[in-house]
Structure 1
Amino acid sequence: MRILVAGASGMIGSELRDRLEADRHTVLRLVRHDPRSESEFTWSPTARIIDFTLMERVDAVINLAGASLSHLPWTRRYKKQILDSRIHTTQTLADAMRMAATAPGVFINASAVGYYGDRPGERLTEKSSKGSGFLSDLVDAWESAARLAPEKTRVVTVRSGVVVGRGGAMRPLLPLARLGLSGPIGTGGQHWPWISLHDEVAAIIHLLDSSLEGPVNLVGPTPITADGFLRELAAQVHRPYGLPLPEKVVDVTLRDAGQELLLSSQKVIPEKLLADGFVFADAKARDAIARLVARRAR
């Protein structure tokens, strides 16, 4: 396949590009600098500038672009950047597809489990309703922008959980664990939806040839609490665990970012992926953490 990727330089995008090229797909990259190779094409999503004829030359579009949620604090200005970076990129791609004489067959757009909000005790699938909060509203607008793609284009919005890889949420968590400074965050009983970087990328590739459309949860099949996840992380780097981070401290220092990223409880199930026959290489959080720790050691 010929696949156009936005956000190909990030943690997920870099791994995805390598795996696609290893499978002999052709990957074209949208970049914001001058092209450095024949596979790079300049665009400016903020200004809605893109060569729409690119869409006539590719079979699929994958959009992973967006300002990092891990950048703290979430000031009012940065919240706007988080929102704009997602909506502008998605709308620019959807507009270009509609302008093309022949649109791509599939559009896979990044999304997030933040759609569900804080839902303690609930089993959350793609059929679950929207929650509340900044991330829930963000994801709702983000997915709505993706649905502006042409009717003939199959649109998939991948609601990812915490991706266990070199970067993202693991960038601060792994060093803290290695220093022996990790422990329960709040009560620790909140569910953290997680997925290994390996399975995140494998699921996206699976969806290129699938018939699935609409929202798809990209999370591991075995739910775990924050306490269980962080305890396993400390154990695998052979460090003590138990230094608590009280909820009040999270509230005061991180405010809504802390509430939505660290304290929200989301027992999310990858119902569509499992029904579609996708097999997870890392079915439990300990498997994902072991893969990360082994990779970091190399």
Structure 2
Amino acid sequence: MTGSSGLLGTALVKALRDDGARVVRLVRRVPRGDEEAFWNPAKGVLDPAVLEGAEAVIHLAGVGIEDRRWSDEHKREVVRSRVEGTRTLAAALAGLTVRPATLLSASAIGFYGDTGDRAVDESSGAGEGFLAREVVVPWEAETAPAREAGIRVVLLRTGLVLAPEGGMLARILPVFRAALGAPLGSGRQYWSWISLDDWVLAVRYLLAHPEISGPVNLTAPEPVTNAEFTRVLGAALHRPTMPLAVPGFALRALLGEFAQEGVLSGQRVLPRRLLDGGYTFRHKRLDEALAAVL
């Protein structure tokens, strides 16, 4: 597994080890013990022997999109970290004599661009914008060598993951607990979310179902608007929310270019392939998910 020290990777490593699996973490420092191995995706360094005998490879590594303002350099690093890492891993997998059966590779619902009120699923094409065209499309394309070598490739198009210890929810909780939560921009943009528990369970489900390949939306079946998210989160915390929305111009001044694609735009994304495949969500509704994670 790459990206094993992040929010998603940490939770998934624990779940897989609790299942009895041996997880080898690919790290970019000196390994500590035989359950870590070194790789350097920027330089294409990965000893193929590390992958020999693996049942599956899970690739989650990439620079955080929201880590800082979208300068030109940060945007280049967002793209580079995803494209170079996926390229290094897919090439190493394709070159193996005995290959893992499965590669689960991180992706994002940013693939769909701003969908407005339109619901989209895995059959929908790529949208417009930096995240769709310059990040997700080339990121996913780099898995091609693994797929062409006969490895089952699943693209984990992940939405907003709800967990109090990290991600967007951790950033906004202090604001809502101070009774300062408010809709952002119009409030009509859709936020497609998934609880951390369901994300981990869905990935384990995909590992166990070899008939599923290609893009899979990791989102709950009931996306909500930003205004509804604001209302439900305030209710879950027993805190009032502000009656007036934070205007778009203020968000652009605060967050820069990220504000438009990361906050003011939205995706109404449905997990069609998970539902059709028989996956049962633990948290279908936002109020249920927030009650559980908080």
Q: Which TM-score band applies after superposition, normalised by the shorter structure?
A: over 0.9
TM-score, structure 2 as length reference: 0.96
- Matching of residues 198-237 of structure 1 within 5 Å: 198-210=197-209, 211-237=211-237
Question: How many angstroms apart in 2 are the aligned matches of 1:79 and 1:121?
Answer: 28
Which consecutive residues of structure 2, in runs of 5 or more, have no partner in the other structure?
none
Task: Report if aligned partners of 1:220, 1:270 keep a CA contact under 8 Å in 2.
Answer: yes
Question: How many angstroms apart in 1 are the aligned matches of 2:195 and 2:144?
Answer: 27
Task: Report if aligned partners of 1:63, 1:110 keep a CA contact under 8 Å in 2.
Answer: yes
Residues 1:91 and 2:87 are matched in the alignment = yes
Secondary structure at the aligned position of 2:52 is classed as: helix
Task: Report if aligned partners of 1:121, 1:267 keep a CA contact under 8 Å in 2.
Answer: yes
Question: How many angstroms apart in 1 are the aligned matches of 2:155 and 2:89?
Answer: 14
- Matching of residues 248-267 of structure 1 within 5 Å: 248-267=249-268
AA aligned to 1:127 is S
Question: How many angstroms apart in 1 are the aligned matches of 2:217 and 2:144?
Answer: 17
- The percent of aligned pairs where both chains have the same amino acid is 38
Secondary structure at the aligned position of 1:7 is classed as: coil
Q: Match for residue 154 of structure 1?
A: 152
Question: How many angstroms apart in 1 are the aligned matches of 2:143 and 2:171?
Answer: 31
Task: Report if aligned partners of 2:69, 2:257 keep a CA contact under 8 Å in 1.
Answer: no
Secondary structure at the aligned position of 1:66 is classed as: coil
- Matching of residues 1-298 of structure 1 within 5 Å: 5-137=1-133, 138-149=135-146, 150-165=148-163, 166-210=165-209, 211-242=211-242, 244-293=245-294
Number of aligned positions between the proteins: 289
AA aligned to 2:49 is T
Secondary structure at the aligned position of 2:224 is classed as: coil
**Deviation of 1:147 (Å):** 2.1
Task: Report if aligned partners of 1:12, 1:197 keep a CA contact under 8 Å in 2.
Answer: yes
**Deviation of 1:199 (Å):** 0.5
Partner deviation per Cα, 1:47-77 (whole Å, 9 max, x = no partner): 1101111222201000011111121211110
Question: How many angstroms apart in 1 are the aligned matches of 2:106 and 2:226?
Answer: 23
Question: How many angstroms apart in 2 are the aligned matches of 1:203 and 1:277?
Answer: 11
Secondary structure at the aligned position of 1:158 is classed as: strand
TM-score, structure 1 as length reference: 0.94
**Deviation of 1:117 (Å):** 0.4
Secondary structure at the aligned position of 1:131 is classed as: coil
Question: How many angstroms apart in 2 are the aligned matches of 1:14 and 1:181?
Answer: 31
Task: Report if aligned partners of 2:94, 2:149 keep a CA contact under 8 Å in 1.
Answer: no
Task: Report if aligned partners of 1:55, 1:102 keep a CA contact under 8 Å in 2.
Answer: no
Question: How many angstroms apart in 1 are the aligned matches of 2:38 and 2:149?
Answer: 26
Which consecutive residues of structure 1, in runs of 5 or more, have no partner in the other structure?
294-298
Question: How many angstroms apart in 2 are the aligned matches of 1:102 and 1:257?
Answer: 42
Task: Report if aligned partners of 1:182, 1:244 keep a CA contact under 8 Å in 2.
Answer: no
**Deviation of 1:231 (Å):** 1.4
Secondary structure at the aligned position of 2:167 is classed as: coil
